Structure 1
Amino acid sequence: MRERGWRPEGPLDVARTLLPHRRGSGDPTWQQAADGAIWRTSRTPAGPGTIRVSAHPREGLVLGRAFGPGAEWLLETLPQLLGAADPLADFRALMDRLGGGGHALIRELAGRYGDLRVGRTSRVFEALVPAVLEQKVVGREARRAWRWLLSRYGDPAPGPGPAGMRICPAPEVWRAIPSWDWHRAGVEGVRAKTIINAARHAEKFEAAGSAEADRLMRSLPGIGVWTSAETRQRAHGDPDAVSVGDYHIPSLVGWSLTGDRTDDAGMLELLAPYRGHRHRIVRLLELGGTRPPARGPRMPARDYRSF
């Protein structure tokens, strides 16, 4: 076990910062303990690792305890995971420039959630796989597939973390998953092929910055704007990566800022004044915006599994 204390500049909500990396309440790579500490696993460049992150606000301290071959890497990158590289000062300057030209709700939310940070995991492929699993399906279907595949192919997490935690499989393991296990996980051929193909290029993804990773990922079949944005938000902490093509976000943005539903084009127009921080604005609206009333039945989760 290795340990590191880190003092962030200004207030920091650890759970809120790390929440985007959780894929459902049963995510085997992310769990929250009864005392509020966050357990998270990763396959780092140095090998598998588990980190426990706990906040100690009275001391202004965040404590990281890490286990496994990747422990040192996880502790070294802990500040970036918690948003140390997030250009918050640039966002505040943007809000000052906009002044009364910015939307009142966004000004209010920016003040209310001033501790909101966009962190980065620096592990692109680990963020890409669940993003592909979430393509064009309801969330519970994607989360079920993620849990099943990690339970079957992920390594047990090192350290004394919550039972059942797993490490995301290495790219070569994803390439070797047979078709019948994709089927059992509830993943049809298109998404399975997209992940298998992406695994062949994983090394290039990890070496690229956000803009280059966007180009590389979108050059592959099955990876478009939405998947790239969802990946870069988490892996690179890109505060401007907008999830164009999302089923819910345009309605959230439109309803929160105008009282009307909108589409992707309308969403981008509303977010245009905040270029450079459009993903951050969406996160603020997810915390304090409003959604239009639901209409019609919910889309059911499909089940491709055989028993």
Structure 2
Amino acid sequence: MTTEDSRYEAVRSRDARFDGVFFFGVATTGIYCRPSCPAITPKRQNVSFFATAAAAQGAGFRACRRCRPDAVPGSADWNARADVVGRAVRLIGDGVVDREGVAGLAARLGYSARQVQRQLNAELGAGPIALARAQRGHTARVLLQTTSMQAAEIAFAAGFASVRQFNETIKEIYAATPTELRAGRPGRLPVAGRDGAAGVPLRLAYRGPYDTAQVFGFLAERAVAGVEEVTGEPGRRTYRRTLRLPHAPGVAEVAERAGTGGWLECSLHLGDLRDLTTATQRIRRLFDLDADPYAVAQRLSADPALAPLVAATPGLRAPGAADPEELALRAVLGDGLPLPEARHLAADLVAAHGEPLPEPSGGLTHLFPRPRDLTAAPGDLGIAVAPQRATAVRALAVALAGGSLRLDPGADRDEAERALLSLPGISTWTAGYIRMRALSDPDVLLDPALLLTLAPAHISRWRPWSSYATHYVWHAEG
């Protein structure tokens, strides 16, 4: 999709593979759409193309009510990019601009606010405020159409500073008042209020095929008691976990059985509704919902060794992490151990140092310990663990708590890996595993057999999707 003519061909063919990759606005209607919009294809001279929904909104276009272009998966390209633009997009998605402003975003990236503004405008056609505004608008629409929350509650849950700002933004983006938008709700999700048993119901969209059995199986094998649980039979499982969020703890539930409809059904039980955007983005990263399986399959299928695996498992994903620091601590604690033993150690650590939930939720009882909780732990961490392993975990906790190692969505992946390898007891494999999952790097090859038997030139053919090659091999090995 490097030229506008090729983009127009995708629009003419209503190719859903490019939903979220770009958007198009129609001058005669003032509406912007996703490439797969079912409406009559507009004439080429009336079409403009945009890198983001925020850019289309900034140009004066309103979201199409048929294809809902603001609700498509995020761009796999921006999520994969390691430069300042990719890091900024991930931080904005995590709600940093809403919580800390543009100055806070720039400080996390190590740039001035002006530099960040200029680079985002040049690459995405919209600055950080516009990108955060588009995200707030989408969150508000979801809440209006899937919950019975009051408009004022929705305004602040979505990140708006005032009800007036909320009303004006909804009117500008959707050409409808919040009341009108709510009246047009699809009605296919359970409707819950703030304290409803269903939590806040969401449909988390993804593109292409999605192998729910692979993802839920991967998470079930690694679920830590007290923090995570997987209930139900294969094909109808529910993954549940606690979330440590900026304002209050939460619990997320994701259903496996809904994976065939282009989305996963999720319920978020939040102690503070301001955490909605952050919780949503963290679950999206955990389930790798912004991946582009078409690009992955095209690249990896070109290798005869991987082609049969790709054909056998369409839609395989590379699960990320809901809490990068938790993932890193668990990886170091269980380095080299069989999965059951690693899970047992992590559960012991949770029982010894985790923060209890205000109220247990099924088998969920605790939040995973924060790094600073472990810096004050005894030398053996208060659990039955080898001294070298305890030393490695404590060193990692000190680095995370002190800020010398950052694993947030805007972290520089190369710097993070160097910092990990400088710590005692952290192997190259574990640093790569943390990079792959905690930092959602799509280009990490971890399988030792492949690294030993294949030439570097061969492995380079899989780039930038080496993480998916790793998961294909793991999945085939069972």
Paired residue total: 267
Between 52-61 and 145-154, report the one with greater CA deviation. Answer: 52-61
Tell me the equivalent position of 2:464.
276
Q: Is 1:239 aligned with 2:426?
A: no
Indicate which of 315, 340, 343 corresponds to 1:140. 340
Q: TM-score, normalised by structure 2?
A: 0.50
Report if aligned partners of 1:17, 1:117 keep a CA contact under 8 Å in 2. Answer: yes
Q: TM-score, normalised by structure 1?
A: 0.75
SS of alignment partner, residue 202 of structure 2: strand
Which amino acid letter does the alignment assign opposite residue 465 of structure 2?
H
Report if aligned partners of 2:381, 2:390 keep a CA contact under 8 Å in 1. Answer: no
Report if aligned partners of 2:242, 2:364 keep a CA contact under 8 Å in 1. Answer: no
Tell me the equivalent position of 1:50.
251
Indicate which of 238, 243, 258 corresponds to 1:37. 238
Shift of 1:92: 3.1
Indicate which of 83, 89, 107 corresponds to 2:307. 107
Shift of 1:160: 6.4
> Could you list the per-position Cα deviations for residues 120-177 of structure 1 after superposition, in whole angstroms to 9, with x for gaps in the alignment?
3263211111111122434333222111111222123467643254311111111111
Q: Is 1:88 aligned with 2:88?
A: no
Indicate which of 191, 206, 219 corresponds to 2:422. 219
SS of alignment partner, residue 179 of structure 1: coil
SS of alignment partner, residue 3 of structure 1: strand
Q: Is 1:11 aligned with 2:209?
A: yes
Which amino acid letter does the alignment assign opposite residue 290 of structure 2?
A
Structure 1's 10 and 158: CA in aligned 2 closer, same or farther, altered over 3 A? farther
Which amino acid letter does the alignment assign opposite residue 202 of structure 2?
R
Shift of 1:36: 1.0
Shift of 1:209: 3.4
Tell me the equivalent position of 2:112.
none
Indicate which of 284, 306, 312 corresponds to 1:79. 284
Shift of 1:44: 3.2
Tell me the equivalent position of 1:300.
none
Runs of at least 5 residues in structure 1 that lack an aligned partner in the other structure: 244-248, 254-263, 291-307
Runs of at least 5 residues in structure 2 that lack an aligned partner in the other structure: 1-198
SS of alignment partner, residue 406 of structure 2: helix
Structure 1's 32 and 137: CA in aligned 2 closer, same or farther, altered over 3 A? closer
Q: Distance in 2 between matches of 1:223 and 1:268?
A: 26
Tell me the equivalent position of 2:29.
none
1:112-261 equivalence runs, <5 A:
112-121=312-321, 123-157=323-357, 161-182=361-382, 185-202=383-400, 203=403, 204-207=405-408, 208-243=411-446, 249-251=447-449, 253=450
Tell me the equivalent position of 2:263.
61
> Could you list the per-position Cα deviations for residues 54-95 of structure 1 after superposition, in whole angstroms to 9, with x for gaps in the alignment?
142464332211223475121243333322333434323424
Shift of 1:50: 1.6
What percent identity do the matched residue pairs reach?
A: 21
Structure 1's 150 and 12: CA in aligned 2 closer, same or farther, altered over 3 A? same
Which amino acid letter does the alignment assign opposite residue 200 of structure 1?
V
Shift of 1:45: 3.8
Structure 1's 25 and 79: CA in aligned 2 closer, same or farther, altered over 3 A? closer
Q: Distance in 1 between matches of 2:222 and 2:204?
A: 28
Report if aligned partners of 1:31, 1:39 keep a CA contact under 8 Å in 2. Answer: yes
Q: Distance in 2 between matches of 1:180 and 1:95?
A: 44
Structure 1's 159 and 280: CA in aligned 2 closer, same or farther, altered over 3 A? farther
Aligned-residue CA RMSD in angstroms? 2.9
Q: Distance in 2 between matches of 1:60 and 1:137?
A: 36
Structure 1's 241 and 59: CA in aligned 2 closer, same or farther, altered over 3 A? closer
> Could you list the per-position Cα deviations for residues 272-297 of structure 1 after superposition, in whole angstroms to 9, with x for gaps in the alignment?
4323222312211222248xxxxxxx
- Say which one has the larger Rg: 2
More RCO (CA 8 Å, sep 6+) = 1
> Could you list the per-position Cα deviations for residues 175-205 of structure 1 after superposition, in whole angstroms to 9, with x for gaps in the alignment?
11113544xx221222212222222222441
Q: Distance in 2 between matches of 1:15 and 1:75?
A: 21
SS of alignment partner, residue 117 of structure 1: coil
Which amino acid letter does the alignment assign opposite residue 216 of structure 1?
A
> Could you list the per-position Cα deviations for residues 94-126 of structure 1 after superposition, in whole angstroms to 9, with x for gaps in the alignment?
246x3xxx224x111112211111233263211
